[in-house]
Amino acid sequence: MTIEIFHLPDAGEGLTEAEIVRWLVEPGDSVLVNQMVVEIETAKAIVELPIPWEGVVWAIHENIGSVVPVGAQIISIDVGAQPQREPVLVGYGVKEDALVTRRPRRESTHRVKPVLAEVTAKPIVRKLAKDNAIDLSTVVGTGRNGEVTREDVNAAIGGDALAPRGSQDQLGERIPVRGVQRMMAEAMVASAFTAPHVTEWVDVDMSRTLEVVERMRVANSERITPFIVVAAALIRAAQKYPRINSSWVDTTEGADVVIHPFVHLGFAADTPTGLLVPVVRNASAANLLTLSAGITEQMEKARSGTATPTDLTGGTITLTNIGVFGVDGGTPIIAPGQASILAMGRIMNRPWVVDDAIVIRPIMQLTLSFDHRIIDGALGSRALASVAKYLADPALEELVLKD
């Protein structure tokens, strides 16, 4: 409760006193700002005086007829008076509902939040980043106080060239590895660092193979490529030396080498979506023509993006043609779960010795990487040599094999 005392105001014009003519309110009355509360008479006129507060009249200090000087207390108002309440058995009762408006706040009371984490981001944004293998600390935050927003993470996923957080280097490119590519990378690592790789190579005179290719082209509308012949050679080698067509399987007792009954040939295919390895199932039962058809079909599927998971899995041995890129050989990594991989290089005319004379022959390098746990040096060498022997005279080998 707060009492405000109203003094007879100086109305100017030399007014020094006034007579109270009539009170317009009495103690206990509610009054509003500027409400007239008293009539006074000065030397000049009768005027009404307004009260400058809202509240309840507390006391009247001067009676009607009194002549009071300017500055005298004439009426007191309780400006802190509570709104009317209907009391209840145990208390004042409820407050009547005034119009509910918001009591204004100062401008400056925006919270300064302590930085709790190095990177500020909402839970859903963190999840988005994590699911897409984005390191939040490398994303520039454009939100309040440097918060990383959903848009920031989406931009990072989309591969936009955003400068890494805090990095001075504006050159280069950061390409996220995700999805299938990430899985392949992981498989690569698993294979390379689990199977002890040994790589051997041999050069082969491809003239007889090229002859066969040419003769088959003339005889059939089917066009077979040297790649198909190499595939056939590998398949024959796998039939002769089954351990190159096997898998190393860890068991509770140790490990098993599982020799596969069929050759499901996987071959590396370069597609618009990257490297895929489609598989020709049961390639060992095929002759050159059906093998060619199978490979062509799978290649088509892979290139057009219509290959199914079945098309892309289940291979037991892999052939990769690196010669199309103009190189000879290398150290290919065995596909996970397999025992060996054969790479064929480019076919290029080179000097060759035949009957102690130097002649020009189309020479191709073959590279065989094999899992040394499964295949020892002798076997690997023999297998590679048998591929080379087949390619040196495919027609002869086929005839021999028919027995």
Residue with Cβ nearer other proteins (22 or 95)? 95
**Smallest gap from residue 84 Cβ to other proteins (A):** 8
Residue with Cβ nearer other proteins (106 or 402)? 106
Amino acid identity, position 257: V
| DSSP conformational letter for 93 | -
Asked if residues 388 and 363 have their Cβ atoms less than 8 Å apart, the reply is: no
Residue with Cβ nearer other proteins (52 or 71)? 52
- Beta partners for residue 135, in sequence order: none
Residue with Cβ nearer other proteins (27 or 71)? 27
**Smallest gap from residue 307 Cβ to other proteins (A):** 34
Amino acid identity, position 360: I
Phi, psi of 7, rounded to the nearest 5 degrees: -105, 150
Residue with Cβ nearer other proteins (4 or 393)? 4
Residue 372 appears among annotated catalytic residues: yes
Residue with Cβ nearer other proteins (28 or 261)? 28
| DSSP conformational letter for 261 | S
**Smallest gap from residue 159 Cβ to other proteins (A):** 24
Q: Which of 380, 126, 31, 52 is nearest to 240 (CA)?
A: 380
Amino acid identity, position 216: M
Q: How many residues does the chain have?
A: 403
- Beta partners for residue 280, in sequence order: 265
Four-residue CA torsion sign, 108, 114, 118, 123 = negative
Which contiguous run of DSSP H or E holds residue 37? strand 36-41
Four-residue CA torsion sign, 262, 287, 400, 379 = negative
**Site residues (CB under 8 A) for other proteins?**
1, 82, 85-95, 100-106, 109-111, 122-124, 127, 144
Which contiguous run of DSSP H or E holds residue 266? strand 265-267
Asked if residues 390 and 240 have their Cβ atoms less than 8 Å apart, the reply is: no
Four-residue CA torsion sign, 304, 308, 310, 316 = positive
Query: Which of the following is catalytic: 61, 260, 264, 372?
Result: 372
* Positions marked active-site: 372
